[in-house]
């Protein structure tokens, strides 16, 4: 009995099947994301109507309006397509900001010395602050423009990235090449920007993917509480409007559920990419998908 | 042995779980309604269910508290707590407390309570009854009353007004009389919840449960009514969101929906009617739910032609079909709805006329030297309905070559940038709703929303000598004829200058479960009012 | 030992940082601090009232004095005053906290157990069918906005099937003290708890799965495997103890996310708890209430962190041994 277990290798080298799964995930993720990007760049190619076309209000879904119409008689599918760009923009912008913050603080924290200790302290401090409640309170004070929303989401969204970057930096610094560079007399800044950052690329990429999904979710929650920017709607604000305008009682399920489904598909796309990236580097400091 | 013990313990655990499950299941959905219970659903944020709670105070106006008079939907007044008589010069109003009126703790209601209420309002509320008020801007508004004298027998009180006021009674419909014996030497803030719940209405407070989200009321045995009330208990169910409130109404679990100074949305009301869940009762109202107001003191809408370009580019029938009920009317250029005191039907009925819009647009652009008309439309982000209006305005104006940027703001920022209360009116145009109460303040006809000199409102920022003269005539009117003449001029001025435009005129829709009949509609408080309880019956 | 002390110290600093931010926000932001601190605007404030609030709020005092007063208020238990609700924030929160905890605590326990079971099961064969299905499911589930999940549950189970109540914590006239009342309470709690569990389990599951996968490649697990330990026993006896520590710490922090989620859940289910208080304060712009709630939530996080650290300290063999040696 026992010999069987001993003979079995515990950590299999990446198997053919796993590779296939990862590549399928990559393909699916890229395809989904490509569709979303296309919808963001050229909404008119997807939408059956122009956003200025109006029909009767509260129409149920039919062949003319696959998701029905909203309270003001706009075609829901058209609105959904036209909201793609804004949704991605909010997500991409806040995730980018969070990423930049996270990388900077993470690098500083990995650098050692007083700055490193300080930066590490800041990371640990922010990790301890309740993210969602703090975001809600700050958003209530800041008011609901696009820029404000992006900043507020980013302020609490960088912490896990900083941690991952710090771990990677510490790991890299233990490698022989870092010692060699220091011995060769390169300045620490040059080593950081020319040699360490490029090597943390993979961590940064995986973190960016997960942060993006998180940012889109946070935006949707802020919208639900009436704290998002509503003037040019995102999927989050679409659900919020549908909900507040009585979508459930009016049985406008297309208006309510389709943006939610779109958010889920987008998250799925990001997750597929993450799955592939994580598969490529199994040692990415053990960071999980979710924050 | 050990195995048996294990088996027994597993069986026991399973049994326990099953029993608990059965218990929980039996607890699910036992919410059967009693035949003599009337269930009101509301999404008003009631916090502690006593007089110190703004929303509860409004709700109790229809259950436990009474004002001196009530306003009917046809504009007439009915005595509520007191009978009234007006002197010939229109300056003296005598109120006599109706026979047998008692507080629900057994004390009789007397005229001293009325005087106490006036004094209390002056000292602790916005007041202005017997003492003058100075606002933030340093402007002083003189008191409405010169004196209020209680008769010797304590049963009546005479209000002597500073000037004859044809709309004097309308202020009194919302002034709920307070029990002096409870509040003497106290304020609402220092009184106990029990004291803050003493009332004199048809019903009295019974219980409040934050866990169950219910407030219940039972008949007030001291109320002077000989008949038998059909409703033996009123249950108010509190909802945190309109979504679940509407679903509960649609599911037949509520008899009506209550919202202070507001009705049910037309699209939802007609869905209820179609499903047989409710009968719709339209209540004519002086409020304007949907207004597009211009800032007439700032570019681009300091130019009348550019305002008219917008007015004639809007599709009023489209607004009515999307957002209003079947009782809606196409608005006139005179702005105020037909139920308003002094309304004249003579101003132009608004309709879309793109060529007329273009003529005004070209004239306006030529005069101002602007290359094109584009403006920012401010909206309160908390109001999802207003946001829908704004999106519709934007669509319609863009068809006429006018470009609109919608700017959403939170409540405070919206108020600060659209009203004088913020000290700096910075909007160009906004979507806003005007309440019935606001529409009749000062000179009435919504003038406080137009007048740029008004201390608090002044949304349209009108600074115009002709308009000021009309304001003076409105407030100087001692007889109804004088007032009507001035009101006509005011509406004609609106029609010529368009400081603001109503997107539609609509009645407020109240809904009542088909199980009940005989509800009375009150102009201020909808279906939940004293008369309703006396006339309501099972259908 | 030192590690845990440092951790507690950081939690304390984070709490203090929240206090400072709370103090600074209304005073730093553009806009009149009187309006920001009372939640009123000039429309309802006469000059006299404005002046009296200005003095009552201590805005005429030097900043250091204001901060000292603020700290005294927080630690003295007042937590500020809501002029809108005319009550001190501490008692507002105190009244509502039990309702919130009745939802949050069971949800925390259930989601922790679920995440633990699913995470360990998925990590047993990384990239196997179970793992792929579970992680994809979690990624999708993690992308459903909480309010949407809650509303769908209400529509299906309350209004569609009629099985469960659609809101509040009790039926009218029910006393939780009785058996019947208790069952009634449980029936009311099912949907809110389920919503919160749906919202908070996926991230925990992902975290546990990742660390369990790493741990199962460690030597001691290999050794256990080679001794023939398999399946559930391997997961719980050998893998879990080694990932339990960060998992517990995360569960502690997760408490904050739970309280955040309760803002949405209580709004959907009309539960008169702290979350509903926050969401109403957001729409009324009642800043003192918002700040008080943030302070309380932070204090909870601090408490939970200290508690988990103490637990971990007791459970940590290395630290225990060291203590015994002294």
Closest-CA residue of A relative to B412 is A143
The pLDDT score that the predictor gives to residue A231 is: 65
C185 plus C246 within the same structural domain: yes
- H or E segment at B235? strand B233-238
3-state secondary structure B99-163: CCCECCCCCECCHHHHHHHHHHHHHHCCCCCCCCEECCCCCEECCCEEEEEECCCCCEEEEEECC
- Enter the tokens of residue A70: 């909203």
Decide if pLDDT at A285 tops 50: no
> Which of C66, C88, C110 is the last residue before a domain boundary?
C88
Which residue range forms the structural domain that includes residue C83?
Answer: 2-88
pLDDT of residue C40: 63
Burial classification of residue A150, based on how many CB atoms lie within 10 Å of its CB (0-12 exposed, 13-18 middle, 19 or more buried): buried
Nearest residue of chain C to residue A215 (CA atoms): C143
CA distances to B286, B351, B467, C246 from B446, rounded to whole Å, are 10, 22, 13, 64
Fold category of B37-59+201-284+508-538 in CATH: D-Maltodextrin-Binding Protein; domain 2 (3.40.190)
What 3-state class would DSSP assign to B42?
A: strand
Partner B contacted by C35 (CB < 8 A) = yes
What CATH number corresponds to the domain at position C102? 1.10.3720.10
How far is A242 from A229, CA to CA, in rounded Å? 15
Nearest-CA distance B215 → chain C (Å):
9
Residues of chain B with pLDDT under 70: 1-2, 23-33, 126-127, 134-139, 421-423
Cα gap C197→B267, rounded to integer Å: 35
A136 in contact with C, Cβ within 8 Å: yes
Looking at the structure, give the CATH architecture of the domain made up of residues B288-502: Roll (3.10)
Which of C69, C88, C107 is the last residue before a domain boundary?
Answer: C88
Q: What is the pLDDT of residue B149?
A: 92
Is residue C297 one of the residues assigned to a domain? no
d(CA B171, CA B67): 10
Rounded Cα distance, A225 and A237, in Å: 10
Q: What is the DSSP letter of B522?
A: B
Looking at the structure, do residues C128 and C35 belong to the same domain, yes or no?
Answer: no
Residue A105 touches partner C, C-beta closer than 8 Å: no
C128 and C9 both lie in a single domain: no
- Residue A286's pLDDT band, with cuts at 50, 70 and 90, is very low
**Angstrom distance (rounded) from CA B170 to CA B93:** 13
- Chain A, window 141-200: residues with a beta carbon less than 8 angstroms from a chain C beta carbon: 141-142
Residues 6+ apart with CB under 8 A from A63: none
Q: Is residue C40 part of a domain?
A: yes
Give the domain B66-182 fold: Dipeptide-binding Protein; domain 1 (3.90.76)
Residue A79's Cα: distance from chain center in Å?
22
Same-domain status, C122 and C265: yes
Radius of gyration of chain A (CA): 23
The DSSP string of A38-49 is HHHH-HHHH-SS
Any chains having at least 3 CB pairs less than 8 A from chain B are A, C
Q: C22 to each of C26, C36, C67, C74, C294, how far by Cα in Å?
A: 8, 12, 11, 11, 8
| Token digits of residue A182 | 């220091």
Q: How close does chain A come to B388, measured CA to CA in Å?
A: 6
> Residue B537 and residue B518: Cα distance in Å, rounded?
6
- For B149, phi and psi rounded to 5 degrees? -115, 125
- In the numeric block, the tokens 């005294």 are attached to C72
Question: Nearest to residue B271, comparing CAs of C4, A60, A275?
Answer: A60
In a domain, C145, yes or no: yes
Query: Around Cβ A46, how many Cβ atoms within 10 Å?
Result: 16
Q: Is the residue at C169 inside a domain?
A: yes
At residue A289, the pLDDT reads 54
Which positions ≥6 away from C134 have C-beta within 8 Å? C118, C121, C122, C205, C209
Q: What is the pTM of this model?
A: 0.83
Is residue C41 in a domain?
A: yes
Distance in angstroms (rounded) separating the CA atoms of residues A245 and B218? 34
Bridge partner residues of C185 (DSSP):
none
B247 to C184: CB separation less than 8 angstroms, yes or no: no
Q: Are residues C53 and C165 located together in one domain of the fold?
A: no
Query: Residue A3: pLDDT above 50?
Result: no
Q: Is A147 exposed, middle or buried (0-12, 13-18, 19+ CB in 10 A)?
A: exposed
Q: What is the pLDDT of residue A283?
A: 43
Relative to beta strand B279-283, strand B508-512 is antiparallel
Give B413's contacts in chain A (Cβ within 8 Å). 143
Select the residue from B215, B412, B419, B441 to test the C interface by mutation, using most C Cβ atoms within 10 A.
B412
Nearest CA in chain B to C269: B240
Q: Check if B383 contacts C (Cβ < 8 Å).
A: no
Q: How far apart are CA C173 and CA B108, in angstroms?
A: 32
The residue-averaged pLDDT of C162-181 equals 82
Q: How far apart are CA C205 and CA C228, in angstroms?
A: 27
Q: Are residues C143 and C199 in the same domain?
A: yes
Cα distance between residue A57 and residue A242, in whole Å: 12
Residues facing B406 on adjacent strands: B377
Q: Mean pLDDT, to the nearest integer, of A177-193?
A: 75
How many CA atoms are closer than 13 Å to the CA of A177, on its beta-carbon side?
9
pLDDT digits (tens, 9 = 90+) for A105-160: 988 888 778 888 888 888 888 887 888 888 888 888 776 677 888 898 898 889 88
Q: Is residue C208 part of a domain?
A: yes
**Alpha helices in chain A, H assignment, sequence order:** 2-7, 16-41, 43-46, 76-110, 113-128, 131-142, 146-155, 159-174, 176-183, 188-190, 197-199, 201-224, 235-244, 253-280
Q: Could you say which of A124, A225, A271 has the minimum Cβ distance to residue C10?
A: A124
**DSSP SS3 for C61:** coil
Assess whether C59 and C101 both reside in one domain: no
Q: Are residues C129 and C61 in the same domain?
A: no
Give the SS3 label for residue B218.
Answer: strand
Does residue C322 contact residue C1 with C-beta atoms inside 8 Å? yes
Mean of the per-residue pLDDT values of chain C: 80
| Calpha distance A97→C312 (Å, rounded) | 35
More confident residue, A179 or A24: A24
Query: Are the CB atoms for B93 and B104 separated by under 8 Å?
Result: no
Q: Are B237 and B40 in contact (CB under 8 A)?
A: yes
Of A57, A74, A244, the CB nearest to B267: A57
Kindly identify which residue of chain A lies nearest to residue C17, measuring between CA atoms: A125
The SS3 call for residue B85 is: strand
B98 touches chain C (CB under 8 A): no
What is chain C's alpha carbon radius of gyration, rounded to the nearest angstrom? 24
**Residue C290 placed within a domain:** no
Is residue C321, in this structure, part of any structural domain at all?
no
Kindly list the distances between the CA atom of residue C271 and the CA atoms of B281, C133, C169, C263, C287, in Å, as whole numbers in the listed order.
Answer: 31, 34, 6, 10, 21
The token duo for B261 is 């100074």
Cβ <8 Å between B133 and C46: yes
Q: What's residue C257's pLDDT?
A: 81
Our count of domains for chain C comes to 2
Shared domain for C144 and C210, answered yes or no, is yes
Residues of B in contact with C38 (CB under 8 A): none
Last residue of a domain, one of C88, C122, C146: C88
User: What ranges do the domains of chain B cover?
Assistant: 37-59+201-284+508-538, 66-182, 288-502
- Inter-CA distances, C13 with A125, A159, C19, C253, C298, Å: 7, 16, 10, 15, 11
> What is the DSSP code string of B386-430?
HHHHHHHHHHHHHHTT-EEEEEEE-HHHHHHHHSGGGS----SEE
Shared domain for C128 and C157, answered yes or no, is yes
pLDDT tens by residue, B187-199: 888 899 999 999 9
Q: Are residues C67 and C116 in the same domain?
A: no
Any idea what DSSP says for residue B456?
Answer: S
Residues C246 and C108 both lie in one domain:
yes
Terminal-to-terminal C-alpha distance of chain C: 13
Query: Is residue A224's pLDDT more than 80?
Result: no
Chains contacting C (3 or more CB pairs within 8 Å)? A, B
Residue A230 contacts B, CB cutoff 8 Å: yes
pLDDT digits (tens, 9 = 90+) for C13-71: 888 888 888 888 777 766 667 776 776 655 455 566 677 777 777 777 787 888 888 88
């Amino acid at each position: 009995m026992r010999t069987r277990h001993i003979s079995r290798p515990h950590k299999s080298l990446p198997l053919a099947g796993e590779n296939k799964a990862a590549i399928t995930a990559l393909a699916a993720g890229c395809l989904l994301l490509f569709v979303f990007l296309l919808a963001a760049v050229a909404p008119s190619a997807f939408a059956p109507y122009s956003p200025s076309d109006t029909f009767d209000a509260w129409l149920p879904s039919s062949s003319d309006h696959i998701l029905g119409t909203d309270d003001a008689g706009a075609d829901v599918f058209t609105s959904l397509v036209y909201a793609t760009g804004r949704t991605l923009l909010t997500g991409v912008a806040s995730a980018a900001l969070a990423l930049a913050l996270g990388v900077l603080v993470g690098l500083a924290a990995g650098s050692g010395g007083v700055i490193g200790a300080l930066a590490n302290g800041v990371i640990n401090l922010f990790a301890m602050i309740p993210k969602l409640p703090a975001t809600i309170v700050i958003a209530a004070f800041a008011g609901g423009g696009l820029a404000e929303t992006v900043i507020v989401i980013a302020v609490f969204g960088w912490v896990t990235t900083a941690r991952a970057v710090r771990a990677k930096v510490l790991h890299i610094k233990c490698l022989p090449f870092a010692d060699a560079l220091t011995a060769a007399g390169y300045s620490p800044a040059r080593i950081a920007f020319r040699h360490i950052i490029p090597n943390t690329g993979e961590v940064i990429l995986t973190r960016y993917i997960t942060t993006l999904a998180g940012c889109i979710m946070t935006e949707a929650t802020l919208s639900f509480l009436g704290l998002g920017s509503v003037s040019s709607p995102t999927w989050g604000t679409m659900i919020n409007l549908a909900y507040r305008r009585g979508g459930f009682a009016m049985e406008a399920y297309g208006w309510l559920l389709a943006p939610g489904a779109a958010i889920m598909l987008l998250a799925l796309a990001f997750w597929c990419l993450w799955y592939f990236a994580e598969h490529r580097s199994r040692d990415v400091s053990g960071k999980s998908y979710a924050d | 042995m050990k195995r048996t013990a294990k088996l027994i313990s597993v069986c026991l655990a399973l049994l326990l779980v099953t029993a608990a499950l059965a218990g929980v299941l039996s607890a699910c959905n036992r919410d059967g309604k009693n035949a003599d219970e009337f269930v009101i659903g509301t999404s008003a944020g009631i916090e502690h269910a006593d007089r110190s709670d703004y929303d509860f105070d409004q709700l109790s106006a229809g259950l436990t508290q009474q004002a001196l008079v009530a306003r009917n939907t046809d504009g007439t007044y009915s005595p509520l707590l007191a009978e009234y008589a007006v002197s010939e010069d229109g300056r003296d109003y005598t109120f006599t407390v109706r026979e047998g009126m008692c507080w629900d703790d057994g004390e009789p209601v007397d005229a001293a309570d009325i005087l106490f209420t006036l004094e209390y309002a002056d000292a602790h509320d916005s007041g202005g009854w017997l003492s003058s008020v100075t606002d933030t801007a340093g402007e002083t508004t003189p008191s409405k009353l010169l004196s209020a004298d209680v008769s010797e027998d304590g049963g009546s009180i005479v209000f002597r007004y500073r000037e004859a006021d044809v709309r004097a009674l309308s202020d009194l419909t919302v002034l709920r009389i307070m029990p002096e014996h409870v509040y003497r030497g106290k304020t609402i803030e220092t009184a106990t919840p029990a004291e803050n719940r003493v009332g004199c209405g048809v019903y009295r407070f019974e219980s409040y449960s934050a866990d169950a989200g219910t407030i219940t009321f039972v008949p007030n045995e001291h109320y002077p009514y000989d008949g038998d009330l059909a409703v033996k208990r009123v249950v108010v169910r509190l909802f945190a969101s309109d979504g679940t409130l509407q679903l509960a109404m649609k599911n037949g679990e509520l008899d009506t929906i209550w919202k202070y100074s507001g009705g049910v949305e037309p699209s939802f009301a007609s869905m209820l009617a179609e499903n047989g869940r409710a009968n719709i009762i339209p209540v004519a109202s002086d409020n304007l739910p949907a207004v597009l107001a211009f800032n007439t003191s700032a570019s681009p809408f300091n130019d009348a032609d550019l305002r008219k370009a917008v007015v004639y580019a809007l599709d009023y029938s489209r607004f009515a079909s999307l957002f209003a009920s079947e009782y809606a009317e196409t608005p006139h250029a005179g702005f105020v709805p037909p139920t308003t005191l002094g309304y004249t039907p003579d101003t132009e009925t608004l309709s879309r006329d793109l060529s007329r819009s273009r003529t005004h647009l070209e004239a306006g652009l030529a005069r101002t030297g602007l290359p094109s008309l584009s403006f920012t439309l401010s909206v309160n982000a908390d109001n999802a309905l207003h946001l829908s209006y704004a999106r519709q305005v934007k669509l319609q104006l863009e068809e006429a070559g006018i470009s609109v940027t919608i700017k959403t703001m939170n409540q405070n920022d919206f108020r600060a940038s659209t009203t004088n209360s913020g000290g700096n009116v910075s909007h160009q145009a906004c979507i806003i709703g005007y309440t019935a109460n606001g529409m009749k303040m000062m000179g009435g006809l919504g003038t406080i929303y137009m007048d740029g000199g008004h201390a608090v409102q002044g949304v349209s920022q009108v600074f115009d000598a002709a308009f000021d003269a009309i304001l003076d005539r409105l407030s100087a009117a001692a007889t109804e004829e004088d007032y009507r003449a001035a009101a006509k001029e005011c509406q004609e001025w609106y029609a010529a200058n368009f400081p603001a435009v109503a997107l539609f005129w609509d009645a407020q829709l109240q809904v009542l479960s088909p199980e009940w009949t005989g509800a009375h509609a009150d102009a201020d408080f909808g279906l939940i009012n004293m008369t309703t309880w006396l006339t309501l019956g099972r259908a | 030992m030192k590690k845990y002390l440092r951790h507690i110290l950081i939690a304390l600093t984070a709490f203090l940082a929240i206090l400072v931010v709370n103090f600074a926000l209304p005073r730093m932001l553009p806009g009149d601090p009187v309006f920001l601190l009372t939640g009123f605007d000039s429309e309802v404030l006469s000059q006299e009232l404005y002046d009296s609030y200005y003095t009552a709020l201590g805005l005429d005092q030097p900043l250091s004095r204001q901060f000292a007063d603020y700290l005294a208020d927080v630690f003295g238990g007042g937590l500020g005053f809501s002029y809108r609700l005319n009550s001190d924030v501490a008692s507002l929160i105190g009244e509502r906290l039990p309702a919130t905890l009745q939802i949050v605590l069971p949800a925390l326990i259930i989601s922790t157990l679920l995440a633990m079971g699913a995470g360990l099961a998925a990590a047993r064969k990384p990239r196997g069918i179970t793992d792929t299905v579970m992680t994809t499911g979690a990624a999708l589930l993690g992308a459903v906005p909480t309010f949407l999940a809650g509303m769908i549950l209400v529509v299906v189970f309350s209004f569609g099937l009629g099985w469960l109540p659609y809101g509040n914590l009790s039926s009218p006239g029910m006393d939780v003290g009785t058996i019947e009342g208790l069952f009634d309470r449980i029936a009311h709690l099912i949907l809110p708890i389920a919503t919160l569990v749906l919202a908070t389990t996926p991230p925990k599951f992902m975290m546990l799965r990742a660390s369990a996968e790493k741990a199962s490649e460690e030597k001691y697990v290999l050794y256990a495997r080679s001794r023939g330990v398999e399946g559930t026993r391997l997961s719980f006896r050998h893998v879990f103890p080694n990932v339990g520590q960060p998992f517990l710490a995360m569960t502690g922090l997760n408490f904050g996310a739970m309280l955040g989620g309760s803002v949405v859940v209580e709004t959907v289910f009309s539960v008169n708890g702290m979350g509903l208080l926050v969401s109403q304060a957001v729409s009324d712009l009642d800043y003192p209430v918002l700040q008080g709630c943030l302070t309380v939530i932070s204090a909870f996080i601090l408490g939970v962190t200290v508690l988990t650290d103490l637990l971990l300290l007791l459970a940590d063999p290395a630290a225990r041994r060291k203590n015994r040696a002294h």
